[in-house]
Amino acid sequence: MPNRERRPVMGWIFFLMLAIAPLLGASQPAFAQSAQAELKIGTRVLPPMVVQNGNEINGFSIDLWNAIAGKLNVKTTYQTAPDVRSLLDLVRSGAVDAGIAAISITAAREAEFDFSQPMMSAGLQIMVRGKGKDAGDSNPLADLTVHIFSKAFMVWIGIALMMVIIPAHVVWLLERNHPSGLLKHPAYFPGIFDALYWASTTLATQGGDMPRHWLSRLITVLWMFIAIVFVAFYTAQLTANLTVQQIQGTINGPDDLHGKKVAATRGSTAVSILGELRANVQEVASIDDAYKALDEKEVDAIVFDAPVLLYYAANDGKGKVQLIGQPFRKEDYGIAFRNGSELRKRVNNVLLVLREDGTYQKLYDKWFSSK
Ligand code: GLU
């Protein structure tokens, strides 16, 4: 009896399953096609690595990531951070799957993150205001003050002192027995002061009292000529130094940054190096703020990633800024992942593919070829 009652229920279930089976079957492939995996990528605006044009972002790093995403067959949504520190925070917290912009691979960061293999080589360079008609910020008086406190100046003073003290003693020895001559007093004190005065005026090519002893007269004449050469030599040296300073400015390398006001972006590798160089670091969020501070003479220089500075110097900053020397600290850019991220290996592989198939070079030329 109960068996007979259950049979129609089972039949209905079987019928229902048959009816929806094609629906399930049909929806399965359609779902698989539309569900392209999606990755969240953190970045930050930093031309030409990341460039913002209205709502759109591109730039070398973004183009590179889009090429990687294409090969991985994933969709990307970008999330931008104001500075490199907050960009790395996004990666650390897992808010994004990876970070790409101009992130330098450093030992300290490597301990906290997994990096892709280097995606580009970079380095830190110094940028100052351009010299030329509107440089106007090199002050000859300030340069002179710098010179007066320089080691070279102390050496010159030392030589000048020797050139006074030694002949003063020789002349005192020769003249002390000629009371009506150079020395008003034959004793060492205060006679030596007369001799020192004679030597000083002779060195300054002023010509003073004439000594009596024939040898002291000979020394006087000789000393006058030596003094002319000495003064001329010193004048030439001073003029050359001041001229070079006027042309070159006072920042010619990293060692000149000590005590200078230098802008760099918050949390960047440049900030830590500037700390080591004992510069007066002005941290700004965007690199544009740094360019503005330099232009408005709020800082003496910017220290930042060479590719970024080069791009600015060749475009918006043309004629306004000048780069000093070569990059003084080498760095590599990488894509940052959370420690242990399984995505890294796949990205590394695609990076190599993109280098081998020429895509990487094409993108590099697009953003960095000298136009
Ligand atoms: N490359 C530098 C760094 O990783 C600067 C990055 C930035 O300001 O975004 O520290």
Angle formed at CA 173 by CA 167 and CA 179, multiple of 5 degrees: 115
Give ligand 1 pocket residues (Cβ under 6 A). 44, 46, 83-84, 101-104, 265, 268-269, 305
Task: State the pLDDT at residue 94.
Answer: 96
Model confidence at 35, pLDDT cuts 50, 70, 90, reads low
User: Alpha-carbon distance 309 to 321, whole Å?
Assistant: 9
Atom of ligand 1 nearest to the CA of 46: 9
DSSP E strands in 12-109: the ranges are: 38-43, 51-53, 56-58, 75-80, 98-99
Distance between CA atoms of residues 63 and 66, nearest Å: 5
Is pLDDT at 2 greater than 60 in this prediction?
Answer: no
Q: Can you list the domains of the chain with their CATH numbers?
A: 36-119+334-369 (3.40.190.10), 128-138+251-330 (3.40.190.10), 141-247 (1.10.287.70)
- The secondary structure of residue 253, as a DSSP letter, is S
Alpha helices in 209-358 (DSSP H): 214-248, 269-276, 287-295, 306-314, 343-356
pLDDT at res. 329:
96
Over residues 155-184, the pLDDT tens digits come to: 999 999 999 999 999 999 988 888 777 888
Instruction: Give the CB-side neighbour count of residue 367, counting CA atoms within 13 A.
Output: 24
127 or 10: which leads in pLDDT: 127
Helix (H) or strand (E) holding 185: none
Mutate to test the pocket of ligand 1, among 268, 272, 311, 330 (most ligand atoms within 8 A of CB): 268
> Model pTM?
0.66
| SS3 assignment, position 46 | strand
Distance in Å, CA 87 to ligand 1 centroid: 10
Per-chain mean pLDDT for the chain: 87
Q: Is the dihedral of CA 276, 280, 286, 288 positive or negative?
A: negative
Tens of pLDDT, residues 87-134: 999 999 999 999 999 999 999 999 999 999 999 999 999 999 987 544
By three-state DSSP, how is residue 9 classified?
helix
Is a pLDDT exceeding 80 seen at residue 188?
yes
pLDDT of residue 364: 96
Closest CA to 248 of 122, 101, 135, 92: 135
Q: Exposed, middle or buried, 334 (CB in 10 Å: 0-12/13-18/19+)?
A: buried
